[in-house]
Structure 1
Amino acid sequence: DEGSIERLTVDSAHDLHPTWSPDGERIAFISHRDGNWEIYVMDADGSNVKRLTENAVLDINPAWSPDGEKIAFVSDRDGDWEIYVMDTDGSNVKRLTERPSRDWEPAWSPDGKRVAFISEVEEHSDIYVMDADGSNQVNVTSYPTDDLFPAWSPDGKRIAFTSQREGNWEIFLMDVDGSNQVNVTDTPFDDQRPTWSPDGKRIAFFSYRDENFDVYVMNADGSNQERLTKAPTDDLFPAWSPSGKKIAFSSVIDGTPLRNISDEIYVMDTDGNNQVNITNNPTQDEFPAWSPDGEKIAFVSDRDGNKEVYVMDADGKNVRRLTSNPSFDSYPTWSPDGMRITFVSERDLNSEIYVMDTDGSNQVNITNNPSRDEFPAWSPDGKKIAFASDRDGNMEIYMMDADGSNQMKLSINSVLSFDPAWSPDGKRIAFTSYDNLNGEIYVMDTDGSNQVNITNNPARDEFPAWSPDGKKIAFASDRDGNMEVYMMDADGGNVRRLTENPGEDRSPAWCCQAQPVQEFSLLAATVIVVIIIGVFFIFLVRRRRDNQ
């Protein structure tokens, strides 16, 4: 019996890594609902959600101190992943580690005097223990393979952890000084993320035994391993309630196909019954477009039945619908002065480019052509709009004045060209072309001359997006199997993969500062701007296992 499911958070973004406060009254978690990964806290019933961290970097891995007064967490705000601590209201942030390697996954000792954590050393990860003020950092595993996810026993005498030392991921136990290391799961499957029950008698973990991750429990010595969740999708990150009567976990248990995945937080009884979803939003949000000042994001959503253009504050608040008609409206783009938004609409039975004020008023068709006109892109000075059209038989790049006049063809290809993107200096246009029967990123001058293929790869490369300083271009590619977001120099050099997950990642959108891409649309997914950092280490683990 899998029981009923109760949801605690209700948001269209990914909510991950639930962690109970010691008194059982609150749950800390990480969410991308405000544009990047931040740490939040809520009451145990899902109410009174409060954001604790607020900056443009990653803040993840929250861990409550035993007295409930502090939360340790991981942040890259100083350039590298380090361990920090703060009060539970988000104040008094203090950095604990300062090492050239990544430090993450803090775990408090039961007496609150020490913190275990993971540090990457010489291309593998070891478990360290330090005093709560960051002093006396000691490597307690010192093994040439990865040791991850330390969890203190309630009596403070042992640490459970995950290790790959026997070829696959297993749960090990050791004394806090690193002695007496023992494999307690001992299966041919991947077993990860041990968490102790409050009485120290059982350990919850998740395991990849039936073609997906499920939550299991076992006795502390590894006996009586029992599967609690049986959904066809991944159930991850179990966390015991202080009473020992409940387990919170992250899941995509709603059973939506991969294209529509949204991680949610659930709570269940320790026997697996009464599973309750505490976060929920089933809609599609896509095509994010930042306003020039970085204060707003326009996007497309089907939350009201069909796809319309919406706008919200950059923190995800004040969502407002701008278009309203029975046809599809999509692909919003802001004018450089932030006063107007172009978008594509099928309200005239074919795709046309419209422009409107940012409050949704004064919607005007500026292409007025019986063919398909799509992918509008403003020039940096706001005087021109590049777009794609099939008015001459195949899809090509065109340019027009901002009022729709003086429409002229720029590209001349035999198959398909679309998705133009202006360089910040207004001198070049990047676009996607299928002239070689696979998607490539081209760059040309704004009069259509000097067209150059800058990706030149047999895979599909699409959706170019210039960095604000014009030195980089982000794009989507399936060169490594599925669509992921990549970045390259503006001349096509130094290609680097930015995302790695089993979903389709595309349509990168830079914000207003010349920083690495950290927002992109997971097309046809339930979120708008998201990086799936919360499950990064799961995918990393799987990849290493598969490559053995």
Structure 2
Amino acid sequence: MYSADASDTVDLWMREADGSAPRQLTSGSRRNYAAASTPDGRYILFHTNRTGTWNIWRMETEGGNQRPVTVDSKIDSNWPQASADGHWVIFHRPAPGGGFHIWKTPIDGGAPVEISQEICMRPAVSLRDGAIACWYSEAGAKPVWRIGVFSPDGGRVVKIFEFAPTVSVDSALRWTADGRAVSYVDNRGGISNIWSQPIDGSPPRPVTDFHGGEIYSFAWSRDGNLAISRGMQTSDLVLISDVR
């Protein structure tokens, strides 16, 4: 699953693992991002601004029955993940003093519940034990980002991991398929590669060894395969003369 902006809108698409059979899941509904499937494969969660404010929506696997999970006209809700049991949607919302907090809401809709008041954004849920990883920072005027791991119920952070200054917190965190490490994009040397931080505290290690290019997004399948969206950004200077 991925987002594509080939038209005036940003829509969600799906393909088979070998790249075949592309099919469009959303259409003409403004901007749609961050598709994530539920553990049972029944639903796809995503965030969209089709009603103005960013809210969490869900749809059936082939794109049907699209409906909101969060309904708020003033506060954005982004980066949904299903809980390990599939009953809840975990996401982040802006915090009153800046940054973001983790929230959850029933997958069939209902009142959202704040599960942690720690500064935390872009949550990732482990299907192994339900643990929540995120980009975490202690409260302060200037965030100092690290990887934080929370229990499935939220609360306070239980594990913290430092990372290299070349890691971008604009990218998503992903649990490996076995739930024993958290992966992220490291741009050291101006080249993007996937690295993984084992939860047992051992040193992070590289997963890919690309020698050029930029990684825009990635995801692990449940059987341990890695899908990556990557490419090169180019720009040119154009001189326009004799303008009338």
Distance 1:130 1:220 in 2: 24
Aligned to 1:184, the other structure's residue is in SS state: strand
Q: For the structure 1 residues 152 and 281, does the alpha-carbon distance in structure 2 shift closer, same or farther, using more than 3 Å as the test?
A: closer
2:221 aligns with none
2:50 counterpart of 1:118: no
Q: What is the count of residue pairs matched by the alignment?
A: 216
Distance 2:185 2:146 in 1: 10
1:2-38 Cα distance to aligned partner (Å, 9 max, x none): xxxxxxxxxxxxxxxxxxxxxxxxxxxxxxxxxxxxx
2:148 counterpart of 1:216: yes
Distance 1:279 1:163 in 2: 32
Q: For the structure 1 residues 186 and 165, does the alpha-carbon distance in structure 2 shift closer, same or farther, using more than 3 Å as the test?
A: closer
Q: For the structure 1 residues 239 and 113, does the alpha-carbon distance in structure 2 shift closer, same or farther, using more than 3 Å as the test?
A: same
2:79 counterpart of 1:154: no
2:8 aligns with 79
Q: For the structure 1 residues 280 and 201, does the alpha-carbon distance in structure 2 shift closer, same or farther, using more than 3 Å as the test?
A: closer
Distance 1:235 1:165 in 2: 21
Question: Does the aligned pair in 1 maintain the 2:15–2:23 contact within 8 Å?
Answer: yes
Question: Percent identical across equivalent pairs?
Answer: 22
Find the partner of 1:251 among 186, 189, 192. 186
Residue segments in structure 1 that go unaligned for 5+ positions in a row: 1-71, 255-259, 284-314, 317-332, 334-418, 429-444, 446-489, 492-548
Q: For the structure 1 residues 185 and 235, does the alpha-carbon distance in structure 2 shift closer, same or farther, using more than 3 Å as the test?
A: farther
Find the partner of 1:89 among 9, 18, 23. 18
Residues 179-258 of structure 1 mapped to structure 2, 5 A cutoff: 179-187=110-118, 189=119, 191-209=120-138, 211-225=143-157, 226-234=159-167, 236=169, 237-252=172-187, 254=188
Q: Normalized against structure 1, the TM-score is what?
A: 0.36
2:33 counterpart of 1:98: no
Q: CA deviation at 1:132?
A: 1.1
Task: Please report the RMSD computed on the Cα atoms of aligned residues, expressed in angstroms.
Answer: 2.8
Q: RCO (CA 8 Å, sep 6+): is it higher in 1 or 2?
A: 1
Question: Does the aligned pair in 2 maintain the 1:140–1:178 contact within 8 Å?
Answer: yes
Question: Does the aligned pair in 2 maintain the 1:206–1:235 contact within 8 Å?
Answer: no
Distance 1:172 1:152 in 2: 12
Aligned to 1:87, the other structure's residue is in SS state: coil
Find the partner of 2:75 among 133, 145, 150. 145
Distance 1:199 1:282 in 2: 32
Aligned to 2:155, the other structure's residue is in SS state: coil
Residues 98-497 of structure 1 mapped to structure 2, 5 A cutoff: 98-143=27-72, 144-164=74-94, 166-168=96-98, 169-187=100-118, 189=119, 191-209=120-138, 211-225=143-157, 226-234=159-167, 236=169, 237-252=172-187, 254=188, 261-279=190-208, 422-423=239-240, 428=241, 445=242
Aligned to 2:173, the other structure's residue is in SS state: strand
Q: For the structure 1 residues 247 and 121, does the alpha-carbon distance in structure 2 shift closer, same or farther, using more than 3 Å as the test?
A: same
Question: Does the aligned pair in 1 maintain the 2:117–2:155 contact within 8 Å?
Answer: no
Q: CA deviation at 1:161?
A: 0.3
1:39 aligns with none
Question: Does the aligned pair in 1 maintain the 2:83–2:130 contact within 8 Å?
Answer: no
Residue segments in structure 2 that go unaligned for 5+ positions in a row: 213-230
Q: For the structure 1 residues 198 and 76, does the alpha-carbon distance in structure 2 shift closer, same or farther, using more than 3 Å as the test?
A: same
Q: CA deviation at 1:211?
A: 3.7
1:200-240 Cα distance to aligned partner (Å, 9 max, x none): 33111112447443211011112341211243454542211
Question: Does the aligned pair in 1 maintain the 2:192–2:210 contact within 8 Å?
Answer: no
Q: For the structure 1 residues 153 and 172, does the alpha-carbon distance in structure 2 shift closer, same or farther, using more than 3 Å as the test?
A: same
Q: Normalized against structure 2, the TM-score is what?
A: 0.77
